[in-house]
Amino acid sequence: MKNNSCTWSAGKVLGGSSVLNFMIATRGSAEDYDRWAEMGNEGWAYKDVLKYFKKLEKIDIPELKSDTTYHGTDGPVHITYPLFHTPVAEGFLKAGEELGYPTVDYNGKNEIGFSYVQTTILNGTRLSSNRAYLRPIRDRKNLYITLESTVTKVLIEPESNRAIGVELIKSGRRIIVYAKKEVILCAGAIKSPQLLMLSGIGPTKHLADLGINVVKNAPVGENLMDHLNFYGLTWKINASLSLRLSKLMKPVNRHVSNFMKNRRGPITIPGGCEALGFINTKQPEKRTGLPDIELLFIGGTFKDIFPKLLGLKEPLYQNWHKYLNTYGYSVESILLKPKSRGRIKLLTNDVNDKPEIVPNYLDDPDDVRSMIAGIRASLNIGRTEIMQKFNSQLINVTYPECNSYEYDSDAYWECVIRIMSSTLYHYSGTCKMGAREDPTAVVDPRLKVIGVQGLRIADASIMPEIVSAHINIPVYMIAEKAADMIKEEWGYLKNK
C-alpha cells in the first residue's frame, strides 16, 4: 500500500457509512450474539436480539417471506436479492454444492453455506439508513436535524459526572445544545472514541499527556477490530459471461440506459458483489455454528477501481490494470473472527486532527493461518468442475517481494496476504460493551457509559467482539434495541 497504510473511509453525511458501503445484508451467526451474552452482556444473546433483526426488516425475497421465524415483513429496511445475476455467479453457488456446501438463507437458521447476496437495495438503488429511517419522519415536530454540523465534544458537568449536552461547530459558529434527558453518541467506531477522549473519558495518562482534563478513566479506543479482506485472487474466463467495468461505465450503452429507465440490469449489482459463502476452515465438515471465513464472489475482474480504492503502490496497480478489459471473476477471502486487536489514540486535543489508527492486522498468528486457509478454499472454487466449464484460469500476478518463497507454500501466501489485504471498512469495538465490573468495558449492557451519567453509545464501537457479518445490519439491530431501552427508561415503551 502507499505509505504502508490502508485507506479507511467513512460516511460523513446523513446515513453515515450506509451511503457508501456495499449494501450486503448479513446478520452473523446466532453464536456471535450468544458469545456477547457469555461475555457479561445480559440481554444480547441471539434469542434477545432476533426480534430486532426482524423489526428492522421488510423481506422482499419471495421464497423467504413465509419464514416469519427469522424474517420481518413490516420494517423500514427492505432486503432483496440483486435484480441481475451473471451465469458465473450461478456457477459459484454450484461450486459450493460441488464442495459439499448447501445453498442457504444465511440470515435464517444456519449461516454456513453459499447464497446470492441479500442486500439493502430498493427498486435497484441504495437504501441507506437515512432513506429508510429519517426521510419518512423528517416532518415530525419533535425531530430536528442540523446539517453541516460537527460535534466537538460532549459536555459533562464535573460535580455530577453527568452529560448535559454537546458542543458543535456550524458555519464557523460554536453552538451549545443541551439535553433534557440524555446524550446518545452514534458517531461510529472511529469518531465515538475520539469524541469521548476529547471530552475527558479515556485512559488517564493518554489524556493528561495531551492536556485534557480527565473526567473518567476508561479503556476508550482499545479493542479495535475490523474484517481483513484478501483481494488478490482473480480468474479470467473465455466467454463474455461476467461483468466488465470499462463496458458498464461507458456513458452510452444499453446497461446504463436500462438502469436509468428501469432500474434494472447489471448496474444494480452492489459493487459487483453477487454471491458469498460462509465457511469454517478449522472444522470444514461443519454446516452449523460460527464461520471464520467469508468467500465473497465478484462477477468481474474490476482490477482498475479496486486497486485505486485500496491505495496500491504504482507497480502493483500497473500489474492489475492490464486486466481491466478481461472477462473474469474474483473471490475475496474475508477474515470474520480476527483475534488481533488494534487501538485508536488521539494525536492532539484538536477535534480537527485525525486520531492515530493502529489496526494491528495479522498480529495474532492464528489470523494468518485462517487467511491462508481462506485462500486455499477460494482456489478450490476455481478448480471445481463447474468453474472449469468457464475455462477459469487464475491470473497469477507476480509479487517481487514474495519471489524468495516457493509458490503456493504457506510462507508464499503469508507474504502475499501482507501485500494484498486491506480493510473491509467494518471498524468496531472501540467503546466495548461489558459488565460494569469488567475493566475492559466502556459501556454496560444498557449502552450507558460506565462512570458517567446521562450518556449512551449506540454504534459499532460497542461490539465486544466483531460478528461474522458485514456490520451494517447488526448496527441497525443495535440501534433498534437501544431505542427500546431508552424508551423503557423514560416510560415511553409500549407492548413490552
Catalytic residues: 426, 470
Q: Please state the residue numbers annotated as binding site for FAD.
A: 13, 151
What are the backbone dihedrals phi and psi of residue 165, each rounded to the nearest 5 degrees, phi first? Answer: 165, -165
Exposure on the CB side of residue 431, measured as CA atoms within 13 A? 30
Distances (CA, A) of 56 to 51, 133, 462, 472, 474: 9, 10, 19, 12, 10
Q: Cα separation of 132 and 15, whole Å?
A: 9
Beta bridge partners of 168: 151, 175
Q: Cα separation of 264 and 266, whole Å?
A: 7
Q: Which helix (H) or strand (E) holds 334?
A: strand 328-335
Per-residue three-class SS string for 416-461:
HHHHHEEECCCCECCCCECCCCCCCCCECCCCEECCCECEEECCHH
Distances (CA, A) of 101 to 91, 112, 196, 258: 13, 8, 45, 35
Q: Please state the residue numbers annotated as binding site.
A: 13, 151
User: Do 280 and 111 touch, CB atoms closer than 8 A?
Assistant: no
Looking at residue 319, the DSSP 8-state letter turns out to be H
What are the backbone dihedrals phi and psi of residue 77, each rounded to the nearest 5 degrees, phi first? Answer: -100, 110
